[in-house]
Amino acid sequence: MTIDQVLDMMRRDAAFMQNVKAWQTFSAQNAEFADFPPQLDQRLIQALQKQGIRRPYRHQAEALALIEQHQHTTIVTPTASGKTLCYNLPVLNSILHNRESRALYLFPTKALSQDQMNELHELVKLLENQIDFDIKSYTFDGDTPADARQAIRSAGHIVVTNPDMLHTGILPHHTTWVKLFENLHYIVIDEIHQYRGVLGSHLANVLRRLKRICLFYGSRPQFICCSATIANPLELAQHLTGEKHCLVNRNGAPRGEKHFILYNPPVVNHELGIRRSSVKDANDIAAKFVRQGIQTIVFARSRVRVEILVTYLKAAMAQAQQSESLIRGYRGGYLPLQRREIERGLRDGSILGVVSTNALELGIDIGQLQVAIMAGYPGSIASSWQQAGRAGRKSDTSLAILVASSSPLDQYIVQHPDYLFGSNPESGIIDPDNLIILLSHMKCAAFELPFNSAEHFGADYAGQGGVEGTADILDFLQENRVVHRSGATYHWMSETYPAEAISLRNAAEENVVIIDRSDPQEKVIGEIDLFSAPMLVHDEAIYLHESVQYHVDRLDWERRKAYVKQVKVDYYTDAQMKSDLKILDISEDQIIQDQLFGYGEVVVTNLVTMYKKIKFNTHENVGWGKVHLPEQEMHTMAFWFAFAEDIAQKLNIDQQDLADGLQAVSHILGHVVPLFVMGDRSDIRALPMMRAPLWKRPAVFVWERYPGGVGFSRKLFSIYPEIATAARQVVAACPCASGCPSCVGPALMVGEKGKIVAQSLLLAMQETPTPTN
Amino acid sequence: MTFDVESDDLQLAAIQAEIVANDWGSCVKRTRVFSGSPFPEFNLEEFAALTGDDFAHLGKDQRLSALTPESVLFFDLETTGLAGGTGTLPFLIGLGHFRDHQLVINQYFMRDFADEPAALRFVLQELQDVQALVSFNGRSYDWPLLRNRLVLQRLAGPNHLSHLDLLHTTRRLFRRKLPSCDLQSYEKAILKFIRTGDIPGREIPATYFAYLHHQQIASLRPVFLHNAMDLVTLCAMAAKNAPFFRPTTWEKVCECDIHGVINTLQALSLPKLRDLLGVYMAGNAVEDDPEIAFIYADTCKRLGDWEKSQILWQKLEQTSAGWMTAAAIELAKYHEHRRRDPDTALEHVCRAQQRLALRRDMGLPVPSPTLETDLLHRSRRLNHKINKRKTSDDPPNLSAG
């Protein structure tokens, strides 16, 4: 069956179509070509011709021309539009001109760097007969054997690595990389939209250190960045690299017709607002395709779900008397060889269905698939498009289906297709000057090269900008005897190796692992972040996982493990958390129309004290217990919105209704905010307060879950009306009567009027104009 | 608050040092001269007696045979950290020359980071006049660290120097004899010397950081002593280790790990290896140490001394199954290829096969399956040869002519 026949079949399937919330068709687009810039070496042009490339696409030519004019360049292109050529060509061109020329490639993950290397090697191979020296490119990461490292340091023209290795393995040892740093012409940073929040803030500082070292060796490398489509690629690139960039964003690559379906599983429990499982429905849809011999990729949000889907799909194949080996899983934790084998299987067609985490979202070459199915919204629009881009890599018709889960964000997306299909509102936000992050990297920088007292850390090549308080921070470090001032320079003065103690990724942040002991054979069924654990997996809690009830026998807080057993009970547990927030310092605030809003430094404390057992249906309180867990405290940044003092009167509601409404607003904000700041749900938290400190007004706080914050709060300060609008739309569109987990939270938590009050409060936020400076 | 800082001169006098200057600034230089016996068990004349061959043995590198006691430089750093990387400062650089039967130690000390450019230039100057560095773990620690500092000052490092790292030598000789191969263990075991009042290496960075704060040079006195002591030990170590590679008595050989010596001489000189093994086997019966006896036989074979090898192999045939089989195979080869005597060769092979078969019957482990296969192939080929000769009726010994 061809894909067109399948589409036809689906259109006539009434049961399926009932759940389709949007069916968007993007028409095919022809390739737009341009000419190679005159600076490009003839030998490269000939090599490309051997690969069947006679002329570059328009965006490639544009990028090449800008790069050859020595502009830092950021290229925004969808999947499979030939972006690697945009940086491989100028890099090879400079090596052909000067065989000492060097380039550094940064990829976010190891797997991805391996793959991009293959493409580079092919091009280099075609040049082999044209030149009298070898162009050497090497991957330098944790897996690089010690005996190969020496050769890479001195002879590698192109060194491919990742931010973590650059941070711990290269920069602190720059004296062994003299050749590279003296001759570094280009720094290529691919997938920059991945570097946002904490990781991005760290990377910006790693790049500040890199540039310092380059200047020491007399080089000023040019940056080439690539990004998926986000709202602010240029801004992000400039923040990351600290230099002005030119933007190339008009894609000239050809595209086949693309169908994008938003599918919402039907509601099965109206009271709790629970829909049929997105995993289950994604599986049913995928099974239809693979049984028809249509190559399909399914993206799941966790490793566990990948395994579940693989099992389901294999069973579905067996039922249809087809080989189970046509279905494979793919995720982190698989061995490299196994991964290569699966990638090959996908390219040659011997694998029909693959279920993957976002590991396959990035540019790993798996050839052309016909259908991409997302079991749940991948968390960002940029990721959604990258995953959808896995289908239809050439000019054939392709199909992407997003199967929504019950979460408010998923529900928002399926009900507002424009968010996905229109221009992407997500911004990559970083804060390179987060004091904790900045301090860490200034230590590393001092270890690498002494600081001059006049230096501004992070200044651009022209010596402009940079951290104003560099000298203050150095004095602080000197007081703490980490650096030593000698004349006008500050030298590292500690036995430690600072880079080792600093991790770039907060993903390393601790989680509590949930272990099922129902069977003698223990198994891990999931994990939960440390901050949520006291609420959801305290001793005696009933924990819901994949709609199965588990009783928490014991939460081992020290070892970060929760031991659970499968149960069937007629109640659920609801933990009571006492949260408190104090404002330490106001960065900016304003009063408009008697509404007060701002952002600044706060300290948040959370303490779970007790839980209640609540019976299903009747909602009777059938018991309670105490929770003994340590208080958690964090210094961070928060955005706040304090309503007019007389808001209750204005809305004609009593205090309890207002409290419920605030609770409802913070529930929905917690889900919708990540949509705009490209964070994960776990990156931010929202907290309602009836009498907020300082003003004694009802307020909602949105605080960042990374000590010191990474810039989300400042961003919220300028865009909160948009967020309030989106949040209000979710609430308004939700079919539930008076609140459900998909909008403002269950009615039990937000009361009868919570949902209505929340809409009024959000409207008030929405209608308060953003601050004008 | 003011510190009661002694004047520079007084402080320097306390550690017998002076300030030296060049175009790039100044630093502190402290010179100490040792002669005679710095340790009770060590006389500098032992070092003076070292030959080029000794240096080659110590470094397991024939190229070092051009060295003389006066052409090497002992080298040891005291640093601000053990982690390596660019942020570690070698604040005290100790260099030791052997001149006119004396060990002259020059220590360059950086009173602050600002002294580094001058100090590094003084050091570079001293490096120019020598052919090799002698260090303890300097190959992987001290030297790369110094190179880092040269790069950071944008200075070209010397590239004419060889490097003799005595840690490697000491490990080769004493890995199986000493509980640890660090300097202190070595001093105790080989030099019969225990340091008193020495500052432990791990405390040195903190001592320097404290000095940067209070500027009392005298507080670094233990660090200067520690560094000088390390350099003297280096000199003693070279002198004491060298004789193990040219032993004259069985007792001497037994003091160290003979495998380390064998490994070195195998790479450098087979005749010397034969001499060493000869000394060793003079005090050991073949059955006491069949492994070394086998190596001895093999060395003699490679030197063409078949007579000696044959005797050793025959003795080895009387030992344990493994060595017996290996020796039998050697003897079979000897008789088949050198003596053109397949019958005797076959006898050796059969004897080994019977021995292995017997072990198998008794349920004992068989030394190595490859040896067994070797025997099988060998016996087939020998039988074939013998049969062929019988048919052509060739007398066995004629073909050897």
- Residue ranges per structural domain of chain A: 3-27+255-421, 42-248, 443-501, 510-569, 577-614+630-766
Has residue A22 got a pLDDT over 60? yes
Residue A111's pLDDT band, with cuts at 50, 70 and 90, is low
Has residue B2 got a pLDDT over 50? no
Same domain, B99 and B218: yes
Burial label for A322, CB within 10 Å (0-12, 13-18, 19+), is middle
Neighboring chain B residues of A447 at a CB cutoff of 8 Å = 85-87
- DSSP annotation of A593 reads T
- CATH no. for A42-248: 3.40.50.300
Strand B25-35: give its sheet, edge to edge: B17-22, B25-35, B102-109, B90-99, B72-79, B132-135, B162-165
Single residue among B191, B226, B244 that ends a domain in this structure: B244
Neighboring chain B residues of A176 at a CB cutoff of 8 Å = 144, 148
Has residue B283 got a pLDDT over 70? yes
Neighboring chain B residues of A484 at a CB cutoff of 8 Å = 112-113, 209, 212
Average pLDDT over residues A259-285: 84
Helix (H, G, I), strand (E, B), or coil: what is residue A310?
A: helix
Per-residue pLDDT, A671: 83
Longest CA span, chain A: 84
HEC-encoded secondary structure of B341-392: CHHHHHHHHHHHHHHHHHHHHCCCCCCCHHHHHHHHHHHHHHHHHHHHHHHH
Neighboring chain B residues of A493 at a CB cutoff of 8 Å = 80, 209, 212
Same domain, B294 and B381: yes
The terminus-to-terminus CA distance of chain B in angstroms comes to 100
Neighboring chain B residues of A497 at a CB cutoff of 8 Å = 81, 83-85, 87
Has residue A560 got a pLDDT over 60? yes
Same domain, B173 and B254: no
- Interface contact A78, partner B, CB < 8 A: no
Mark yes or no for CB contact B81/A173 under 8 Å.
no
Neighboring chain B residues of A482 at a CB cutoff of 8 Å = none
Same domain, B233 and B277: no
Low-confidence winner among A228-232, A245-249, A742-746 (lowest mean pLDDT): A742-746
Neighboring chain B residues of A215 at a CB cutoff of 8 Å = none
Distance to chain A for B25, nearest Cα, Å: 13
Distance to chain A for B144, nearest Cα, Å: 9
Has residue B62 got a pLDDT over 70? yes
Residue of B nearest to A485 (CA): B113
Query: Residues B135, B140, B146, B150: what is their CA dihedral angle, to the nearest 10 degrees?
Result: 140
Same domain, B22 and B103: yes
- B394 vs B338, B398, B399, CA distance in Å? 18, 8, 8
CB A313 within 8 A of CB A286: yes
Q: Which helix (H) or strand (E) holds A10?
A: helix A3-12
Chains A–B, number of C-beta pairs less than 8 Å apart: 59
Burial label for A773, CB within 10 Å (0-12, 13-18, 19+), is exposed
Instruction: Quote the mean pLDDT of chain A.
Output: 87
Mark yes or no for CB contact B113/A175 under 8 Å.
no
Partners of residue B233 on adjacent β-strands: none
Q: How many domains does chain B have?
A: 2
Per-residue pLDDT, B1: 31
- Residues 650 to 709 of A: which have CB under 8 A from any B CB? none
Helix axes A470-479 and A435-448, enclosed angle (nearest 10): 80
Neighboring chain B residues of A498 at a CB cutoff of 8 Å = 87
Beta-carbon contacts of B401 under 8 Å, excluding residues fewer than 6 positions away, are none
Residue B2 in domain: no
Domains A3-27+255-421 and A42-248 share a fold: yes
Distance to chain B for A142, nearest Cα, Å: 17
For A178-201, write each residue's pLDDT tens digit.
Answer: 999 999 999 999 989 989 888 899
For A304-339, write each residue's pLDDT tens digit.
Answer: 678 778 888 998 899 988 888 899 988 766 666 777
- Interface contact A484, partner B, CB < 8 A: yes
Has residue A273 got a pLDDT over 80? no
Instruction: Quote the mean pLDDT of chain B.
Output: 89
pLDDT: which is higher, A336 or A609: A609
Mark yes or no for CB contact A173/B205 under 8 Å.
no
Mark yes or no for CB contact A481/B209 under 8 Å.
yes
Per-residue pLDDT, A507: 42
- Domain hosting residue B25, numbered range: 8-244
Same domain, B156 and B304: no
Q: Check: CATH 3.40.50.300 for A3-27+255-421?
A: yes
Residue B399's pLDDT band, with cuts at 50, 70 and 90, is very low
Neighbours of B249 (CB within 10 A): 12
Residue of A nearest to B91 (CA): A493
Neighboring chain B residues of A481 at a CB cutoff of 8 Å = 209, 213
- Selected for mutation to probe chain B from A173, A492, A496, A502 (highest B CB count within 10 Å) is A492
- Interface contact A240, partner B, CB < 8 A: no
- Selected for mutation to probe chain B from A180, A483, A485, A491 (highest B CB count within 10 Å) is A491
CB A389 within 8 A of CB A78: yes
- Selected for mutation to probe chain B from A493, A500, A502 (highest B CB count within 10 Å) is A493
Per-residue pLDDT, A45: 93
Say which of A176, A448, A486 has its CB closest to residue B87.
A448
Distance to chain A for B211, nearest Cα, Å: 12
Q: What is the CATH number of the domain that holds B351?
A: 1.25.40.10
Distance to chain A for B86, nearest Cα, Å: 5
Distance CA B372, CA A120 (A): 51
Same domain, B47 and B175: yes
Single residue among B244, B265, B298 that ends a domain in this structure: B244
Per-residue pLDDT, A424: 75
Mark yes or no for CB contact A175/B152 under 8 Å.
yes
Has residue A98 got a pLDDT over 80? yes
Distance to chain A for B207, nearest Cα, Å: 11
Q: What percent of chain A has pLDDT over 90?
A: 44
Average pLDDT over residues A28-56: 91
And the tokens for A225?
């960045």
Mark yes or no for CB contact A497/B212 under 8 Å.
no
Same domain, B167 and B39: yes
Same domain, B204 and B274: no
Mark yes or no for CB contact B81/A486 under 8 Å.
no
Distance to chain A for B125, nearest Cα, Å: 22
Per-residue pLDDT, B6: 44
Per-residue pLDDT, B394: 54
And the tokens for B323?
């060595």
- Interface contact A154, partner B, CB < 8 A: no
Residue B5's pLDDT band, with cuts at 50, 70 and 90, is very low
Same domain, B70 and B82: yes
Say which of B144, B205, B213 has its CB closest to residue A495.
B205
For B177-228, write each residue's pLDDT tens digit.
Answer: 888 888 888 999 888 888 888 999 899 999 999 999 888 888 999 999 999 9
Q: What is the CATH number of the domain that holds B26?
A: 3.30.420.10
Residue of A nearest to B209 (CA): A493
Single residue among B195, B219, B244 that ends a domain in this structure: B244
Residue of A nearest to B146 (CA): A175
Has residue B72 got a pLDDT over 80? yes
Partners of residue A104 on adjacent β-strands: A159, A187
Neighboring chain B residues of A486 at a CB cutoff of 8 Å = 112-114
Has residue A373 got a pLDDT over 50? yes
Residue B346's pLDDT band, with cuts at 50, 70 and 90, is very high
Residue of B nearest to A218 (CA): B154
Per-residue pLDDT, A148: 87
Has residue B3 got a pLDDT over 50? no
Per-residue pLDDT, B262: 93
Per-residue pLDDT, B311: 93
Residue B3 in domain: no
Neighboring chain B residues of A492 at a CB cutoff of 8 Å = 87
Say which of B80, B114, B152 has its CB closest to residue A495.
B80
Neighboring chain A residues of B214 at a CB cutoff of 8 Å = none
Partners of residue B115 on adjacent β-strands: none
Same domain, B76 and B120: yes
For A526-542, write each residue's pLDDT tens digit.
Answer: 777 777 788 889 999 98
Mark yes or no for CB contact B151/A178 under 8 Å.
yes
Has residue A8 got a pLDDT over 80? yes
Low-confidence winner among B100-109, B144-153, B296-305, B349-358 (lowest mean pLDDT): B349-358
Distance to chain A for B193, nearest Cα, Å: 30
Helix axes A712-733 and A754-766, enclosed angle (nearest 10): 130
Average pLDDT over residues A571-596: 87
Mark yes or no for CB contact B86/A173 under 8 Å.
yes
